[in-house]
Amino acid sequence: MSFPFELPILDKVSGPEDLRKLSDADLDQVAKELRNEVIEVVSQTGGHLGSSLGVVELTVALHAIFKTPLDKLIWDVGHQCYPHKIITGRRKRMMGLRQKDGVSGFTKRSESEYDPFGAAHSSTSISAALGFTMGRELGQTVGDCIAVIGDGSISAGMAYEAMNNAGAENKRLFVILNDNEMSIAPPVGAMSSYLSGLYGNSAFHKLKTLAEEVEVHLPWAMRDGARRARQIVTGMHGQATLFEELGFDYLGPIDGHNMPQLLSVLRAAKARATGPVLIHVCTKKGCGYAPAENSSDKYHGVSKFDIATGLQSKTPANAPSYTSIFGQALTIEAEADPRIVAVTAAMPSGTGVNAMAKVFPKRVFDVGIAEQHGVTFAAGMAASGLKPFCAIYSTFLQRGYDQIVHDVALQNLPVRFAIDRAGLVGADGATHAGAFDVAYLSNLPNFVVMAAADEAELMHMVRTAAEYDAGPISFRYPRGNGLGVELPKRGEVLEIGKGRIIQDGSDIAILSFGAHLSVVQEAAVALKNKGISVTIADARFAKPLDTDLIDELVNNHSAILTVEQGSVGGFSSLVLHYLMQSGQLRHGINIDSMVLPDRFIDQASPAEMYSDAGMSEGHVIDRCTKLLHKGSSIPSNHLDAVNLQSS
């Protein structure tokens, strides 16, 4: 591979219609050039490299054979869509990939007509494709529908619910199983073994196909005997693939990097399909770029890197990440209590439980992309007497909400929820934002809900959760590095429902919940320079609330500001509800709340996203100043003085 890249054919491709004019040999060359373009782009922007390199040939072949955008091409998760974006009119914008006002790192309906269905969570593609298919059947302007789903994503129950439905409907639909045997973490479970067996049996598949073709041409009287003989020889009696049992015609496995084979199979499938078809395509993550191929994670998510060496340019961290601190704290607690176990949904390194797995491998369970199962699995372990920590990102925990309600909260089982990626997360954008967990957990009976203000607090909350056995408990913490605070050797057990005063002041009180405390502290310094004295309190708990702390702040300050990195309906709503129930609002309270606005925040750096949300240091200063100004001009004993503002 030489640098810089020359792309003579790709330079002539402005859209998929140009691919359909090319010869098969030129399509093969386009794929080579497209792979180089993806490498060049991601080397400058960072992003999901390995998954995108794995589907280059498949992307070209699909757009060349099917007539997108009339035909609906739906990428599961969407993190492998960079080649797709380049050849669907977004090539010139790719240097803004995952940046503010730039191209999304996932498929996005508002971005292009070639993205018919947005995604960033897994296992939704077949359901969506079936929905488009039924739209076509009922007269909508929809052509063929193609779902591309990975071997990791197909482990989730939703994929099988969709396939079962599609098989029953028996309408023309294409599912491409992109089997790279390497999801973010190595695929786990029986399905991975099953797919590996299919792949390893490709010679057998050819034998089966040949026998079937011969059988078709026999006279009617001889066919039944020949079929029985074939089943005896091949062992296929009652041994259809799982996909065939669900009602799909199964084709494969085929080599996903062999352009002639891909084109041939896709053309045949398009020409002959009458019902649902599953095409099993085997690919390699990172294919065509040695550093990615040789990396343990196949360069799933990378920062900017040097193309020649593959070395990533990462800024040295001033403090360890919250994720690593959680992993270390959990391991410490696991050493002290053999009943502690950990559950993750295909994210052992992403959630930090891999640290515990190195020491206690039999007590860490990766359930695959199956958050619903993971939550109930943890509930069962809690019911057995174990102490499960269910470590799932905030945005993915949403997928298991019914199980949280029905299987955990209703039965008051002591499952510990470690919620990583809380708040706004940066380049992954709105799809991965941890905006809603405080609201969707705090409204459940029996739950304790905590948020860590810094990495030392995270250690305290891990210890608190480990010791708490009266019901479900959760703690949230952000993506990225900590603040560099001094860490204890082991966390302390916090008193349930009790916050803390960080600094005392006399004019305004800021009641912070979670990791925005550092922004509040910076704002307090600026306010002090303006002559405004600020009390800062860290609530620690959204449920149960520290009502004594709230009462103290209300009684001793002319204004109160609550701050949280979550949506409306969370911590601030609970505070206001308490003040209403306790009758204090009738006496006039000058109070405001800073929460995420009632809209999704587009990708940018976390600082830019919080600024967009109206939650920067400057916004905190402005809110405090306005609160004090309003409070000084309105009698505190008048009902009209109640100043309930929300973001």
Q: Is the pLDDT of residue 203 over 50?
A: no
- For residues 64 and 121, membership in a common domain is answered with yes
122 has binding-site annotation: yes
Alpha-helical regions (H) of 235-321: 242-245, 259-272, 290-294
Distance separating alpha carbons of residues 118 and 399, to the nearest angstrom: 16
- For residue 602, tell me if it sits in a domain: yes
pLDDT tens-digit map of 135-175:
999 999 999 999 999 988 988 889 999 999 999 999 999 99
593 has binding-site annotation: no
79 has binding-site annotation: yes
160 has binding-site annotation: no
- For residues 177 and 209, membership in a common domain is answered with yes
Write down the mean pLDDT value for the chain. 89
Predicted local distance difference test score (pLDDT) of residue 1: 46
Phi, psi (deg, nearest 5) at residue 596:
-65, 140
- How many Cβ atoms are within 10 Å of 251's Cβ, its own excluded? 22
Catalytic residue among 298, 387, 399, 540: 399
Predicted local distance difference test score (pLDDT) of residue 372: 96
Which of 476, 492, 525 is the endpoint of a domain? 476
Predicted local distance difference test score (pLDDT) of residue 197: 56
Predicted local distance difference test score (pLDDT) of residue 588: 84
Q: Is the pLDDT of residue 342 over 50?
A: yes
Backbone CA torsion sign across 222, 228, 233, 237: positive
Q: Is the pLDDT of residue 83 over 60?
A: yes
- For residues 144 and 288, membership in a common domain is answered with yes
Identity (one letter) of the amino acid at 237? Answer: H
Specify which of 198-202, 212-216, 223-227, 417-421 reaches the highest per-range mean pLDDT.
Answer: 417-421
- For residues 128 and 272, membership in a common domain is answered with yes
Place of tokens 């359909």: 20
Is position 623 annotated as part of the catalytic site?
Answer: no
Predicted local distance difference test score (pLDDT) of residue 146: 98
Predicted local distance difference test score (pLDDT) of residue 234: 38
pLDDT tens-digit map of 89-110:
999 999 999 999 999 999 999 9
- For residue 614, tell me if it sits in a domain: yes
Q: Is the pLDDT of residue 404 over 90?
A: yes
Q: In what order do the strands lie in the sheet with 473-476?
A: 364-366, 340-344, 387-391, 416-419, 473-476, 448-451, 541-543
Which of 417, 444, 476 is the endpoint of a domain? 476
- For residue 487, tell me if it sits in a domain: no
- For residues 177 and 245, membership in a common domain is answered with yes
Above pLDDT 70, what percent of the chain? 87
- For residues 200 and 265, membership in a common domain is answered with yes
- For residues 462 and 540, membership in a common domain is answered with no
Predicted local distance difference test score (pLDDT) of residue 362: 97
46 burial type by CB count under 10 A (0-12 exposed, 13-18 middle, 19+ buried): buried
120 has binding-site annotation: yes
- For residue 596, tell me if it sits in a domain: yes
| 77: region left, alpha or beta (phi > 0 left; psi from -120 to 50 alpha) | left
The total number of structural domains in the chain stands at 3
Is position 111 annotated as part of the catalytic site?
Answer: no
Q: Is the pLDDT of residue 229 over 50?
A: no
Distance separating alpha carbons of residues 13 and 21, to the nearest angstrom: 10
DSSP string, 618-647: HHHHHHHHHHHHHHHHS-TTSGGG-EEE--
Predicted local distance difference test score (pLDDT) of residue 190: 59
- For residues 275 and 358, membership in a common domain is answered with no
Catalytic residue among 35, 85, 285, 421: 285
CATH code where residue 547 lies: 3.40.50.920
Q: Residue 460's closest CA among 421, 486, 422?
A: 486
Q: Is the pLDDT of residue 184 over 50?
A: no
Between 224 and 314, name the one with better pLDDT: 314
Predicted local distance difference test score (pLDDT) of residue 183: 46
pLDDT tens-digit map of 256-312:
999 999 999 999 999 999 999 999 999 999 999 999 998 877 788 899 999 988 989
121 has binding-site annotation: yes
Angle at 526 between CA 522 and CA 531, to 5 degrees: 140
153 has binding-site annotation: yes
Predicted local distance difference test score (pLDDT) of residue 214: 52
pLDDT class of 6 with cuts at 50, 70, 90: confident
366 has binding-site annotation: no
Strand duo 500-503 + 534-538: pairing? antiparallel
Distance separating alpha carbons of residues 451 and 418, to the nearest angstrom: 10
CATH code where residue 370 lies: 3.40.50.970
Distance separating alpha carbons of residues 176 and 66, to the nearest angstrom: 13
- For residue 308, tell me if it sits in a domain: no
Distance separating alpha carbons of residues 571 and 564, to the nearest angstrom: 7
- For residue 5, tell me if it sits in a domain: no
Which residues, at least 6 apart from 437, have a Cβ–Cβ distance to it below 8 Å? 394, 397, 398, 419, 422, 474, 476, 566
Is position 371 annotated as part of the catalytic site?
Answer: yes
Predicted local distance difference test score (pLDDT) of residue 239: 55
- For residue 414, tell me if it sits in a domain: yes
DSSP helix, strand, coil percent of the chain (3-state; round to 5): 45, 15, 40
- For residues 289 and 407, membership in a common domain is answered with no
151 has binding-site annotation: yes
Provide the domain limits for residue 71.
10-294
Distance separating alpha carbons of residues 646 and 571, to the nearest angstrom: 12
pLDDT class of 176 with cuts at 50, 70, 90: very high
Phi, psi (deg, nearest 5) at residue 560:
-130, 135
- For residues 506 and 456, membership in a common domain is answered with no
* Residue 476 bridge partners (DSSP): 419, 451
pLDDT class of 189 with cuts at 50, 70, 90: low
Predicted local distance difference test score (pLDDT) of residue 240: 66
Query: Of the ranges 58-62, 122-126, 227-231, 613-617, which one carries the lowest mean pLDDT score?
Result: 227-231
- How many Cβ atoms are within 10 Å of 218's Cβ, its own excluded? 13
Q: Is the pLDDT of residue 205 over 60?
A: no
84 has binding-site annotation: no
Q: What letter would DSSP give residue 494? A: P
- For residue 117, tell me if it sits in a domain: yes
Catalytic residue among 333, 371, 455, 617: 371
Q: Which two tokens stand for residue 601?
A: 């925040």
- Residue count (the chain): 647
Q: Is the pLDDT of residue 202 over 60?
A: no
- For residues 252 and 365, membership in a common domain is answered with no
Q: Is the pLDDT of residue 623 over 80?
A: yes
Distance separating alpha carbons of residues 412 and 472, to the nearest angstrom: 6
- For residues 524 and 639, membership in a common domain is answered with yes
